């Protein structure tokens, strides 16, 4: 590629980066009256470094290389000497970056959701037609245990095999159980997505089998009342873990012009951020499951109302949060 074509192709990107860096260096009073340019700076910085390397390898003019090098130096200084406190990073991640990332990765999310929820509802419906199908997924001992945990005859906690276990103990147990599922689904993306595919389908079938069997038995109030509160957090976290796994798989299957290692390194940054979101949801689900869902004294209508409210909260969070005067990244 000739230098003129190279400049025409990337000049708009350089201007955006320059404008963003200029904005960051404004005094606070001036910054409050200015509009911050829309830019995912870490990604833009990686692209800028790549463009500098291309210009150097192609022996473009020293003036162009010097300009790009100066821009990279400014970017490096801004990226690694930022005075933004951890708390600000933390708040920014959850209030802006995470929901924007989820919307940007809608294709991976859609694939993971279709596999997980598709298998879950397919099994749930199939068991209403052929109840014996539950034993094709869960053995008889596990089925008996599930029946005992959600029997309407219970007067103590729902969803527990051992009544002596404390709420705090069960909170820790649910965290361990939930995060282990999420890790399997996420790490399964490394073998070209086959592991993520398997664990999404498997967990969907298992959950669908349990839900279908207990529904078929008529344990509707006890089982659905139990899962209503934490389902929004837990099921969404599983889908997010699957989307993160498919991001890893995409780097290996479709690396584009990058090497697979470089593509994996780049995609892993977004995948890990999705996992952060999934882990947060798993912890929230475990808290609700341990201290709310299992309670027998809470009226069923209240449990269903809270469950619906939490689903609306999760959907609203990922679809609406982070939308401001700057359009979402495409």
SS3 299: coil
Task: In whole angstroms, give the CA distance from residue 271 to residue 47.
Answer: 19
The predicted pLDDT at position 81 comes to: 61
The predicted pLDDT at position 28 comes to: 73
Task: In whole angstroms, give the CA distance from residue 326 to residue 39.
Answer: 10
Domain ranges for the chain, please list them. 3-83, 96-320
In eight-state DSSP terms, residue 133 is G
The predicted pLDDT at position 327 comes to: 45
**290 touches 281 (CB < 8 A):** no
Q: Give the per-residue SS3 of 235-274.
A: HHHHHHHHHHHHHHHHHHHCCCCCCHHHHHHHHHHHHHHH
pTM of the model: 0.72
Task: State the helix-helix crossing angle for 194-217 and 220-228, rounded to 10 degrees.
Answer: 140
Taking CA atoms, 172 is separated from 165, 278, 280, 314, in Å, by 11, 17, 14, 23
Q: Which of 143, 142, 160, 304 is nearest to 221 (CA)?
A: 304
Taking CA atoms, 295 is separated from 116, 157, 222, 298, in Å, by 28, 5, 10, 6
Task: State the helix-helix crossing angle for 167-187 and 194-217, rounded to 10 degrees.
Answer: 140
Task: In whole angstroms, give the CA distance from residue 115 to residue 111.
Answer: 6
271-284 burial, b for 16+ CB within 10 Å, e for fewer?
A: bebbbbbbbbbbbb
**214 touches 150 (CB < 8 A):** yes
pLDDT, tens digit only, all 330 positions of the chain? 889 888 899 999 999 989 888 888 888 777 777 888 888 888 888 999 999 999 899 889 999 999 999 999 988 887 776 555 566 778 888 999 999 999 999 999 999 999 999 999 999 999 999 999 999 999 999 999 888 888 887 766 766 654 546 778 788 888 988 899 999 999 999 999 999 999 999 999 999 999 999 999 999 998 999 999 999 999 999 999 999 999 999 999 999 888 889 999 989 999 999 999 999 999 999 999 988 888 888 899 999 999 999 999 999 999 998 876 444 444
Task: Give the number of other CB atoms < 10 A from CB of residue 250.
Answer: 21
List the structure tokens of 126: 């199939």
Task: In whole angstroms, give the CA distance from residue 309 to residue 260.
Answer: 42
The predicted pLDDT at position 21 comes to: 87
In eight-state DSSP terms, residue 296 is S
């Amino acid at each position: 590629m000739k230098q003129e074509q190279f400049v025409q192709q990337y000049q708009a990107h350089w201007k955006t980066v320059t404008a963003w860096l200029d904005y960051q260096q404004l005094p606070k009073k001036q910054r409050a009256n200015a509009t911050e340019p829309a830019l995912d700076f870490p990604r833009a910085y990686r692209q800028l470094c790549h463009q500098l390397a291309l210009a150097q390898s192609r022996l473009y003019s020293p003036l162009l290389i010097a300009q790009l090098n100066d821009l990279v130096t400014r970017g490096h200084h801004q990226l690694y000497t930022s005075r933004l406190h951890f708390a600000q990073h933390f708040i920014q991640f959850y209030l802006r970056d995470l929901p924007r990332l989820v919307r940007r990765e809608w294709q991976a999310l859609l694939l993971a959701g279709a596999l997980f929820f598709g298998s879950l509802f397919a099994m749930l419906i199939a068991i209403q037609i052929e109840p014996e199908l539950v034993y094709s997924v869960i053995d008889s001992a596990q089925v008996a245990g599930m029946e005992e945990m959600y029997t309407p005859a219970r007067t103590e906690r729902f969803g527990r095999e051992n009544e002596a276990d404390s709420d705090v103990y069960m909170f820790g147990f649910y965290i361990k159980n939930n995060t282990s599922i999420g890790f399997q689904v996420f790490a399964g993306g490394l073998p070209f997505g086959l592991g993520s595919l398997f664990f999404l389908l498997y967990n969907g079938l298992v959950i669908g089998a349990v839900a279908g069997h207990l529904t078929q038995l008529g344990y509707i109030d006890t089982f659905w009342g139990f899962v209503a509160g934490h389902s929004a957090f837990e099921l969404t976290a599983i889908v997010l873990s699957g989307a993160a796994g498919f991001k890893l798989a995409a780097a290996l299957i479709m690396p584009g012009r990058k090497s697979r290692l470089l593509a994996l390194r780049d995609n892993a940054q977004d995948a890990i951020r999705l996992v952060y979101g999934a882990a947060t949801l798993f912890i929230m689900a475990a808290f609700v499951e341990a201290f709310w869902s299992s309670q027998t004294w809470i009226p069923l209508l209240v449990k269903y109302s809270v469950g619906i409210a939490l689903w609306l909260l999760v959907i609203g969070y990922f679809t609406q949060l982070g939308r401001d005067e700057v359009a979402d990244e495409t």
